[in-house]
Amino acid sequence: MTSVLWLRRDLRLADHPALLAATAQGTAVPVFVIDPALWDCAGSARRAWLAATLRQLDRDLDGRLCLRIGRPEAVIPTLAESLGADAVHVTRETTPAGRRRDARVEAALRRGGRALVLTGTPYAVGPGLVRTGAGSPYRVFTPFLRAWRDHGCPVPAGPADLARIRPAETDPHAWSLVDEAVAGSTVPLPEPGEAAALQRWRDFLDGDLTAYRTDRDRPAVEGTTRLSPYLKLGVLHPRTLLADLASVGPADRDGAHTLVSELAWREFYADTLWHSPRSAWRDHRTALEHLEYDDPADPVVASRLEAWRSGRTGYPLVDAGMRQLLTQGWMHNRVRMVTASFLTKDLHVWWPHGARHFLTHLIDGDLASNSHGWQWVAGTGTDAAPYFRVFNPVRQGLLVDPEGEYVRRYVPELAHLPGRTVHEPWAVPDGYDGGYPRPIVDHSQERAEALRRLAAATSARASTLA
């Protein structure tokens, strides 16, 4: 018996329940479908990272990965019919668009007398499974974290019999797209593939985990796991990480505890999106539905928005982060919060404009984490007391990059400034000798304006509820 293994966000061979299910009673043909609707709208860095990962997975499969181009609801049933496959095995999808796509594929398969078999999830605990005692979803992270920990997750799945994986006719044009994407990458990509991800994880466990609790907030040092691009494509599964973290020694327990919480944030945002699909691109909470935003169609706003995108705001930490995004396809998480706050609270631009920019360029861009991370900063998400939080970009720079190493790395116009002076070029005589731009707005004034708009929105909402 032959089955189809349709790969999406699970581009690995170990700890893969859908792969085990597909090969349980016969052979399986692994296939990845390049959907032009998604491929064409992705940024070059995102395409390159996916392409490099697919090429490495094909090598790991000794050339047995079937690659096709087209709409999955047409490609998958056609492939299954040509192979005489009774079932198509997949890892359960959780995003709104993914669920709709899978429903279309399932309907098309059913018309041909075939089944779509859903096994496993990209998360340690499937979205929707962790609920309150009353059966409702959690709205705040801390109680979710406690319940998520109590729920637990399965142990990593056992190895699959790779001898049961068979090839199928592939699309040469699809592989040409893949190779062109890798060759045309404008950012340095991490080493792709499962072996590289596992090596990065082992290196982190052996060295950086001990200091993770403090170093993860320092963008100038390699204090984070740098595993997010691999988690995004399912090259590693989070339950693999959790299983290893459960057995660390005493010296690493603080770091392990912090990292488990960070993984739980990823799970919380996926759970939030599962219960509230509209929150992908709309405010999760409607409390600020009357908040006034500036219109990006206005020339002044458009100019400021472009300065933010290109890293030319005149605020060093913000600009370093935005330039890291463009040149690396990645940005340090603490700096993501600062740059997001600057767009929403200093420039008064609605968060989806920034979230789409991030999702275009981040090689680890994950819809649930990206949109809800932005909303956590913007004040429209899951945080209980959100909007009053306005990150001061100068103070944040002095706090997380006290010697200015991170800023000098990505903003060469400030490389001549020593130490912490890099965060306030306006305060030193030669601050602008390198051609760095002046601030496009005054932070203190814009913070006051953001709070004024909050008060007005709160008053307007109170009036509608009266």
Report residue 385's pLDDT band, with 50, 70 and 90 as the boundaries: low
Asked if 362 and 331 touch (Cβ cutoff 8 Å), the reply is yes
Q: What is the pLDDT of residues 148-192, one digit of tens each?
A: 999 999 999 999 999 999 999 999 999 999 999 999 998 999 999
Mean pLDDT, residues 138-152? 96
**Phi, psi for residue 56 in degrees, rounded to 5:** -70, -40
Q: Which two tokens stand for residue 221?
A: 């040092």
Report residue 361's pLDDT band, with 50, 70 and 90 as the boundaries: very high
Report residue 460's pLDDT band, with 50, 70 and 90 as the boundaries: confident
Q: Which two tokens stand for residue 81?
A: 């019919």
Name every residue whose Cβ is closer than 8 Å to that of residue 427 and which is 6 or more positions away in sequence.
421
Report residue 283's pLDDT band, with 50, 70 and 90 as the boundaries: very high
pLDDT, residue 288, reads 86
Share of the chain above pLDDT 70, in %: 98
Q: Which of 103-112, 235-244, 251-260, 457-466 has the lowest mean pLDDT?
A: 457-466
Whether the pLDDT of residue 386 is over 80: the answer is no
Cα–Cα distances (Å) from 220 to 11, 165, 179, 322, 413, in that order, read: 30, 44, 32, 15, 17
Mean pLDDT, residues 212-226? 94
pLDDT, residue 16, reads 97
Asked if 154 and 239 touch (Cβ cutoff 8 Å), the reply is yes
Whether the pLDDT of residue 138 is over 60: the answer is yes
Mean pLDDT, residues 258-284? 97
Report residue 345's pLDDT band, with 50, 70 and 90 as the boundaries: very high
pLDDT, residue 290, reads 87
Q: Is 395 left (phi over 0), alpha (psi -120 to 50) or beta?
A: alpha
Mean pLDDT, residues 423-430? 97
- CA 196, distance to chain mean position in Å, is 19
pLDDT, residue 287, reads 84
Report residue 255's pLDDT band, with 50, 70 and 90 as the boundaries: very high
pLDDT, residue 465, reads 63
Whether the pLDDT of residue 387 is over 80: the answer is no
pLDDT, residue 458, reads 86
Q: Which two tokens stand for residue 34?
A: 């390049």
3-class SS of residue 357:
helix
pLDDT, residue 459, reads 85
**Phi, psi for residue 293 in degrees, rounded to 5:** -115, 155
Whether the pLDDT of residue 56 is over 90: the answer is yes
| Euclidean distance between CA atoms 330 and 327, whole angstroms | 8
| Euclidean distance between CA atoms 191 and 128, whole angstroms | 33
33, containing H or E segment = strand 27-34
pLDDT, residue 382, reads 87
How many CA atoms lie less than 13 Å away from 70 in the CB half-sphere? 14
| Euclidean distance between CA atoms 405 and 204, whole angstroms | 22
SS3 content of the chain, % helix, strand, coil (to 5): 55, 5, 40
Q: Around Cβ 117, how many Cβ atoms within 10 Å?
A: 20
**Phi, psi for residue 365 in degrees, rounded to 5:** -60, 115
Q: What is the pLDDT of residues 1-18, one digit of tens each?
A: 899 999 999 999 999 999
Radius of gyration of the CA atoms of the chain, in A: 23
Q: Which residue ranges form the domains of the chain, and what is each CATH number?
A: 1-120 (3.40.50.620), 124-156+195-275 (1.25.40.80), 299-465 (1.10.579.10)
